[in-house]
């Protein structure tokens, strides 16, 4: 199956989700899960093709003029990611069908459609080879995430969180687009594989630091890395199936995916990998502390997700094949146990309507399947032997110990993060189920349902299965991904999950002890009901300050600009025009003066020009509006005379006619209202108007002289002169142009006149209030 087909099938699933949900009721989740399941099986069948560095390419021309192609590329890493997307996607769809079983079919359909649409976007992102295509799908995931976080749109907090995530991730997307465009201009292609191939040259470009900064902003916003980490915990306002899928297992890993892809080519450039290790480490520390401080069930899990994403970012940053192995191992292990824990949390919250982890307890016999699933996932998360998580942690420490630079920093962060993760795992598994509820027994609204207990059980069990039977996972799935990411074959991973009796065992025991200590600390900290109130978050506070500042600054900026006074708008337009023209004309004076003096002076014309100037003076300085009208009329008739003596009798007669008509209309209208010398202000009182007017007049004069100095291109005029009689059988060339060559324009002109007439008529026939009163 070609990559594009995967995306199309997923898109088809999104399109049919809502109607299917409406007609099939409770079975909708199970039925719709067939689509991701089918895609997952197709991916499994693709595995042999990508083993040993195989690649499936598909390129369809999209916009060849811009070098943008609908390019897709499937290698080991893409297939692994796609399997996570479709595999967890299958479970999410089943889970969501049950999660929304009590809700209206409309809501269920909407949610399932969004989930499958999201899956489409994710598949597109990880299968794209062309960076523009990748960006389009990348932004699509941000948008769908916005809709899912704001799914409970009646809730203000959900709306605010949705907007926050959109501002952060789509804002980062803009930076990413900038980076991609720069990269494209340096590399001459948008193809990721071609860019990777010439990475060494690109890294020499002076633009490379800018590219790195922009791409990293895109990746850090998406994967919630410091200083953009704050949006992810707020995104927990989304329904839990979305949290499990988007904000833990897949979408937030796109940032990791992106930097991992770039790492294949640029992994040895310090400017690229040092920020990854530094910022990832900072995020690990912040998220570990926040995980201990948080009390919400989903919030604790969300901070542990931020910490895990940070771990992946650091692992991508560390050069060498060990780090690549750890990246892949941790990626898969995390996706399995974290999605399971989210599923379990959602099940508990759904049954008890309690959102605070601190309030929960004693549910082990009431929700046994969820309990077992949580324990399985938690052990993997805590990194205990026999589980996949153990191997992931083992690889993580191998990589951080062995880092060439910043090894101490990476190891320190990894230690603290691992202790916090152990705590989160143990808390999530035992606090709601085993420990006593501190605020009285938790009321159960309904027992666990199969559709919501099965998905976490499956994922939890997979964590154990892949631990004890590593050959199922590592050989066929992980090794091709590692090879694709590293760019070269590596020694196979020793996937053994029974610890030797050595320093590693000591580390495992130490981390478990630290985790238990943190659990004790956490339960002590949150025993008091006061500790359950929302906490101050610096990053959130800064975000709100910035957004609030925008809201305050916008009117402050808009009010002076939007005065509502016509004069200020005209003044601004005139000012900008004058300055622009002045700049354009700099350096043109010589040619202008030379060209202006060539032609001889014609006495007639001078007389008419003086006549026009008199009209101008009358119009500008008259006290009475009626006298001004006369001045404007003089200018109009003078213009007509100028046309007449320059070989344009048709224009002249039109001008005479129009000018006369205009005067008649004006006088007719103005006779109805008392004008007098109302509002007249002499020139002395209007210095700024005078300056603007003189500036504009001067700009006009100079522009005409500049225009005159340019070479004249007579081709069009000559063409009309030659073909007027030959083709249109008319001797008056001006008329022929108007009614034949440019007939459509003339039709438009007639339409304008007609509409203006209609508008004038409509306005003038309105009755005045007095007349109405009189009748």
Restricted to residues 740-769, the positions that interact with other proteins (CB under 8 A) are 742, 745-746, 749, 752-753, 755-757, 759-760, 763-764, 766, 768
Residue 772 as a binder of other proteins (CB under 8 A): the answer is: no
Binder to other proteins among 647, 682, 687, 774 (CB under 8 A)? Answer: 647
For 674, the token pair is 């008392």
Tell me the number of residues near other proteins by CB under 8 A.
109
Q: Which is nearer to other proteins, 498 or 673 (CB)?
A: 673
Tell me how far apart the alpha carbons of residues 310 and 227 are, in angstroms, rounded to a whole number.
12
Residue 29 as a binder of other proteins (CB under 8 A): the answer is: no
Q: Could you give the dihedral angle defined by the CA atoms of residues 527, 241, 304 and 350, in that order, rounded to the nearest 10 degrees?
A: 10
Least CB distance from residue 632 to other proteins, whole Å?
5
Cis, bond preceding 227 (omega within 30 deg of 0)? yes
For 482, the token pair is 């590692």
Q: Which of 112, 120, 99 is nearest to 17 (CA)?
A: 112
Tell me how far apart the alpha carbons of residues 302 and 313 are, in angstroms, rounded to a whole number.
16
Tell me how far apart the alpha carbons of residues 421 and 307 are, in angstroms, rounded to a whole number.
8
For 671, the token pair is 């006779």
Between 321-352 and 297-317, two packed helices, what is the crossing angle to 10 degrees?
170
Find the binding residues for other proteins in span 688-727 (CB under 8 A). 689-690, 692-694, 696-698, 700-702, 704-705, 707-708, 712, 714, 716-718, 720-722, 724-726
Residue 728 as a binder of other proteins (CB under 8 A): the answer is: no
Q: Which is nearer to other proteins, 38 or 662 (CB)?
A: 662
User: Which residue carries 């093709």 as its tokens?
Assistant: 49
Residue 684 as a binder of other proteins (CB under 8 A): the answer is: no
Q: Which is nearer to other proteins, 496 or 604 (CB)?
A: 604
Least CB distance from residue 243 to other proteins, whole Å?
23
Least CB distance from residue 756 to other proteins, whole Å?
4
Tell me how far apart the alpha carbons of residues 355 and 534 are, in angstroms, rounded to a whole number.
13
Residue 627 as a binder of other proteins (CB under 8 A): the answer is: no
Helix (H, G, I), strand (E, B) or coil at 636: helix
Q: For residue 430, how many C-alpha atoms fall within 13 Å in the half-sphere facing its CB?
A: 15
For 262, the token pair is 């770039």
Least CB distance from residue 643 to other proteins, whole Å?
7
Least CB distance from residue 150 to other proteins, whole Å?
14
Binder to other proteins among 498, 503, 586, 597 (CB under 8 A)? Answer: 597
Q: Which is nearer to other proteins, 514 or 733 (CB)?
A: 733
Least CB distance from residue 222 to other proteins, whole Å?
30
Tell me how far apart the alpha carbons of residues 135 and 179 are, in angstroms, rounded to a whole number.
11
Residue 671 as a binder of other proteins (CB under 8 A): the answer is: no
Q: Which of 345, 454, 458 is nearest to 97 (CA)?
A: 454
Binder to other proteins among 65, 501, 586, 679 (CB under 8 A)? Answer: 679
The total of other beta-carbon atoms located within 10 Å of residue 395's CB is 24
Q: Which is nearer to other proteins, 227 or 571 (CB)?
A: 571
Residue 268 as a binder of other proteins (CB under 8 A): the answer is: no
Asked if residue 507 lies in contact with residue 395, where contact means CB atoms within 8 angstroms, the answer is: no
The piece of 175-183, 202-210, 371-379, 684-692 that touches other proteins (CB under 8 A) is 684-692
> Which string of x and - marks every residue 557-596 that binds other proteins (by CB under 8 A)?
-xx----xxxx--xx--x--------------------xx
The answer to whether the Cα torsion of 16, 18, 22, 25 is positive or negative is positive
Binder to other proteins among 436, 443, 533, 681 (CB under 8 A)? Answer: 681
Q: Which is nearer to other proteins, 409 or 611 (CB)?
A: 611
Q: Could you give the dihedral angle defined by the CA atoms of residues 155, 156, 160 and 162, in that order, rounded to the nearest 10 degrees?
A: 20
The piece of 225-233, 320-328, 345-353, 644-652 that touches other proteins (CB under 8 A) is 644-652
Residue 162 as a binder of other proteins (CB under 8 A): the answer is: no
For 294, the token pair is 């948080």
Find the binding residues for other proteins in span 532-561 (CB under 8 A). 554-555, 558-559
Tell me how far apart the alpha carbons of residues 707 and 207 are, in angstroms, rounded to a whole number.
40
The piece of 125-133, 210-218, 223-231, 671-679 that touches other proteins (CB under 8 A) is 671-679
User: Which residue carries 């409509």 as its tokens?
Assistant: 762
Residue 444 as a binder of other proteins (CB under 8 A): the answer is: no
Radius of gyration of the chain (CA): 37
Least CB distance from residue 524 to other proteins, whole Å?
36
């Amino acid at each position: 199956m070609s990559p594009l087909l995967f995306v199309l099938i997923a898109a088809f699933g999104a399109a049919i989700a809502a109607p299917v949900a409406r007609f099939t009721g409770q079975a909708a989740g199970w039925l719709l899960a067939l689509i991701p399941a089918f895609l997952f099986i197709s991916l499994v069948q693709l595995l042999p093709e990508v083993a040993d560095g195989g690649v499936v390419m598909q390129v369809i021309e999209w916009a060849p003029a811009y070098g943008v192609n609908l390019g897709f590329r499937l290698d080991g890493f893409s297939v692994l990611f796609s399997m996570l997307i479709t595999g967890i996607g299958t479970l999410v769809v089943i889970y969501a069908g049950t999660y929304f079983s009590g809700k209206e079919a409309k809501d269920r359909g909407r949610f399932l459609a969004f989930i499958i649409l999201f899956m489409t976007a994710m598949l597109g992102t990880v299968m794209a080879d062309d960076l523009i295509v990748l960006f389009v799908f990348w932004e699509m995931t941000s948008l769908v995430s916005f809709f899912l976080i704001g799914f409970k749109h009646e809730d203000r907090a959900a709306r605010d969180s949705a907007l926050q995530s959109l501002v952060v991730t789509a804002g980062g997307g803009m930076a990413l687009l900038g980076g991609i465009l720069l990269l494209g201009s340096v590399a001459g292609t948008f193809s990721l594989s071609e860019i990777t191939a010439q990475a060494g040259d690109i890294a020499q470009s002076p633009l490379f630091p800018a590219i790195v900064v922009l791409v990293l902003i895109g990746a850090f916003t998406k994967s919630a890395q410091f200083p953009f980490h704050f949006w992810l915990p707020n995104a927990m306002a989304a329904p839990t199936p979305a949290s499990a899928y988007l904000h833990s297992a897949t979408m937030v890993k796109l940032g990791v995916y992106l930097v991992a892809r770039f790492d294949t080519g640029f992994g040895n450039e310090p400017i690229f990998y040092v920020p990854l290790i530094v910022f990832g480490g900072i995020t690990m520390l912040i998220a570990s502390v926040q995980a201990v401080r948080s009390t919400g069930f989903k919030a604790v899990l969300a901070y542990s997700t931020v910490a895990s994403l940070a771990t992946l970012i650091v692992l991508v940053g560390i050069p060498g094949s060990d780090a690549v192995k750890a990246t892949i191992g941790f990626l898969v292990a995390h996706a399995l146990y974290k999605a399971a824990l989210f599923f379990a949390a959602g099940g508990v919250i759904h049954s008890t309507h309690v959102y605070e982890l601190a309030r929960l307890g004693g549910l082990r016999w009431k929700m046994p399947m969820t309990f077992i699933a949580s324990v399985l996932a938690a052990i993997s998360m805590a990194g205990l032997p026999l589980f996949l998580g153990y191997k992931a942690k083992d690889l993580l420490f191998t990589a951080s110990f062995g880092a060439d630079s910043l090894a101490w920093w990476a190891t320190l962060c990894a230690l603290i993060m691992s202790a916090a993760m152990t705590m989160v795992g143990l808390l999530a598994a035992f606090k709601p189920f085993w420990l006593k509820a501190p605020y009285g027994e938790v009321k159960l609204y309904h027992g666990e349902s199969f559709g919501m207990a099965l998905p976490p059980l499956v994922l939890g069990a997979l964590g154990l299965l892949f631990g004890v039977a590593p050959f199922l996972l590592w050989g066929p799935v992980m090794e091709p991904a590692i090879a694709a990411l590293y760019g070269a074959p590596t020694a196979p991973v020793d996937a053994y999950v029974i610890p030797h009796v050595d320093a590693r065992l000591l580390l495992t025991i130490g981390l478990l002890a630290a985790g238990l200590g943190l659990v004790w600390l956490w339960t002590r900290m949150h025993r008091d009901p006061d500790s359950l109130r929302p906490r101050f978050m610096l990053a959130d506070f800064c975000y709100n300050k910035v957004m609030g500042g925008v809201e305050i600054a916008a009117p402050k900026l808009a009010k002076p600009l939007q005065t509502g006074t016509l004069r200020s708008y005209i003044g601004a337009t005139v000012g900008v025009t004058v300055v622009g023209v002045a700049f354009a004309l700099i350096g043109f004076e010589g040619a202008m003066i030379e060209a202006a003096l060539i032609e001889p002076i014609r006495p007639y014309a001078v007389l008419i020009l003086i006549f026009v100037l008199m009209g101008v003076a009358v119009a500008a300085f008259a006290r009475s509006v009626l006298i001004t009208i006369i001045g404007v009329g003089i200018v109009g008739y003078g213009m007509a005379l100028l046309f007449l003596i320059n070989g344009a009798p048709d224009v002249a007669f039109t001008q005479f006619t129009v000018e006369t008509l205009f005067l008649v209309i004006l006088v007719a209208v103005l006779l109805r209202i008392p004008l007098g010398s109302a509002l007249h202000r002499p020139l002395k009182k209007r210095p700024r108007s005078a300056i603007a007017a003189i500036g504009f007049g001067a700009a006009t004069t100079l522009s005409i002289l500049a225009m005159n100095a340019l070479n004249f291109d007579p081709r069009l005029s000559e063409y009309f002169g030659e073909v007027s009689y030959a083709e249109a059988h008319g001797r008056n060339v001006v008329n022929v142009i108007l009614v034949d060559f440019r007939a459509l324009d003339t039709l438009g002109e007639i339409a304008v006149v007609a509409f203006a007439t209609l508008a004038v008529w409509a306005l003038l026939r309105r009755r005045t209030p007095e007349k109405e009163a009189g009748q």
